[in-house]
Chain A
Amino acid sequence: MCHRWPPLAKLLSAIAMILAATCVPVAHPLIGIVTCGIFFAHTLARIPLAYVARRLLFFWPPLFLMAISLPLSQAGQKGWLLFVTIVVRGTLSFSTALWLVNVMPFDQLLATLRRLRIPDVLLAILSLMYRFLFVLWDELDRMRTARAARLFRKPSLWATWRSAAHLVGRLLIRALDRADRIHGAMLARGWDGRSRWIEQPREDRP
């Protein structure tokens, strides 16, 4: 049912939850209430628990790597105290953000940002980026497939790095060419440097 809330309410409640998760001391009993609240929000939005768990599995290693440097560098208890603090707060705010991602489609987020008076240039770039992100992803996927198809044995580490960097470079060239084509197409459709927005259909009302 969270899905039908007005977009601004979703954003504000997510901000409130993250604020709560990062400001309450970890040792305080209130952190349990915050955890329950976030869990409740996930249930309310019918986000499968297995999905959250899977995302957490990808999220934890980098956080762990960052947090483990504290006990390694701080002797005694205080390092581990910080470690626990960071892991708990990170996990809670990550779950909240995950909730927001799942109840708020990206175009709704864009519309909300526009209502919050974010500069038009930034939003135009953002929406273009979002549009072509997946195109470039597919392109990258094809290039990866092509590379895999041409590798018959495991290359050396240097060769892998070199080819991966070339992949980035080639993708860059293709992206810039595509930007030129897009610009041409925009000019052909009367682009004058001002962005115009189609009013969003009111999906926030049932």
Chain B
Amino acid sequence: MHIQDGVLSPVVCAATGAIALGAVSYSVRRLKQSVGDRTIPLTGMMAALVFAGQMVNFPIGAPVSGHLLGGVLAATVVGPWAGCVAMTLVLFVQWALFSDGGLFSLGANVLHMAVIGSWGGHAVRLFVQCFIGDSRKGIVIGSVIAAWVSVMAAATLLCLEFRLSWSPSEIDVSKFFTLMVSFHSLIGLGEALITGVAISFVINQRPELIEWRAEGRQPPDGPRNSQEVRRLTPASSPNIDRVNPVNTTTVAITRTLAAGLIIALAIAAFLSPFASSSADGLEAALGQLGISEFNLTGRVPGMLKDYDKVPVPIAAWQTLAVSIAGIGGTLAVFVLAWLLGRAMPAATQALNSEAAGE
């Protein structure tokens, strides 16, 4: 997933770096304001956890194995700001310790995995929770969908960066896009599966670690230490759910914001194939009019003479492949989300009805 130096052009590196810098410094500022002095050990630990969690192998085939990315997981557990900072530090340490990723492309990597992963993932999860509710089921389903959408959005953004990095004569982005979306549809499915299973495991084992944060509440006033919470309330006790009532105004604003961001992400993730193919049409039209240098054919005949000799099996399937990757991936993710959500204990319903009964 890491972009190496040399893949993107210096200008694109600078631009993504500037955007990432802005986003991360905003996160740091929010982090300074929000919680007390507990933030620093918590965020540091979360960063170390994501780093270690990426070492856990998920076998795919015999030699190939995938791993967790962790942006959505971090955002679900410690919130979007701390999650973004943690992911940024993970990417930085991966460069500084293992020279994994690049220095100049650090901005792009941060943008893809930390900002989209944490901010975007958080927004997607909140949006999904608008429909399903803030129950445990909602958290799990929301994070599964968020994981998939964030990976697809990152892949789309990568294609955009590619397009800006290399001149159109050097690269045909729409085909590249097809390939990237197909790859990342699978990667996103893996990420969604890992994130969903891990989060539902934590919720089953220790619900108090995730719930108050995932539901967008303020941290409980009384017991700040999770062990204290555990000591004070038996595992099955519903008290934790009512430690602090939800601040409805804040939640409403958050939801509106989340909806806006989601729509943007959805456009990025699903409408881009059409956008890029129509952009190609635009380029072709411009080339025919002789306005631009986009169209190389006919001007440099020698360079493209073996164009047809290289078989490109997916070329004809381009639009179809994107659609299959998109629709198939979406369906698979929804089935996955539904299954994982179904596996959540019925305690949530009992809790809700109990709370309603009061």
Contact = CB atoms under 8 A, between A and B. Distances in A.
Interface in A41-100: 55, 59, 62-63, 66, 69-70, 72-78, 81-82, 85-86, 88-90, 92-94, 97-98, 100
B73 A22 contact: no
Interface in B3-26: 3-7, 10, 25
B9 to A, nearest CB: 9
A129 B171 contact: no
A122 to B, nearest CB: 6
A168 B57 CA distance: 10
A72 B201 contact: no
A179 B45 contact: yes
A4 interface: no
A125 B176 contact: no
Contact of A166 (B47, B51, B93, B198): B198
A2 interface: no
A111 interface: no
Given A165-B194, A170-B201, A82 B166 contact: yes
A36 B65 CA distance: 35
Contact of A172 (B53, B55, B308): B53
Given A128-B45, A177-B227, A22 B10 contact: yes
A122 B2 CA distance: 22
Interface residues of B, number: 84
B189 to A, nearest CB: 11
B170 interface: yes
> A18, A22, A157, A160 — which one has the most chain B CB atoms within 10 A of its CB?
A22
Given A97-B99, A131-B44, A132-B48, 17 more contacts: A69-B176, A73-B179, A76-B306, A89-B7, A101-B99, A129-B48, A137-B52, A168-B53, A168-B56, A168-B73, A169-B199, A170-B205, A172-B73, A173-B205, A179-B45, A183-B225, A192-B37
Interface of A: 14-15, 18-19, 21-23, 55, 59, 62-63, 66, 69-70, 72-78, 81-82, 85-86, 88-90, 92-94, 97-98, 100-101, 106, 109, 119, 121-122, 124-133, 135-137, 139-140, 157, 160-162, 164-173, 175-180, 182-184, 186-187, 191-193, 195
Interface of B: 2-7, 10, 25, 28, 31-32, 36-38, 40-49, 51-53, 55-59, 68, 73, 77, 85-86, 89-90, 92-93, 95-100, 102-104, 166, 169-172, 175-176, 178-180, 183, 193-194, 197-199, 201-202, 205-206, 209, 225-227, 303-304, 306-310, 312, 314-315
14 contacts: A22-B10, A73-B179, A73-B314, A74-B171, A74-B176, A77-B303, A82-B166, A93-B4, A97-B103, A135-B48, A161-B194, A169-B197, A170-B201, A171-B53
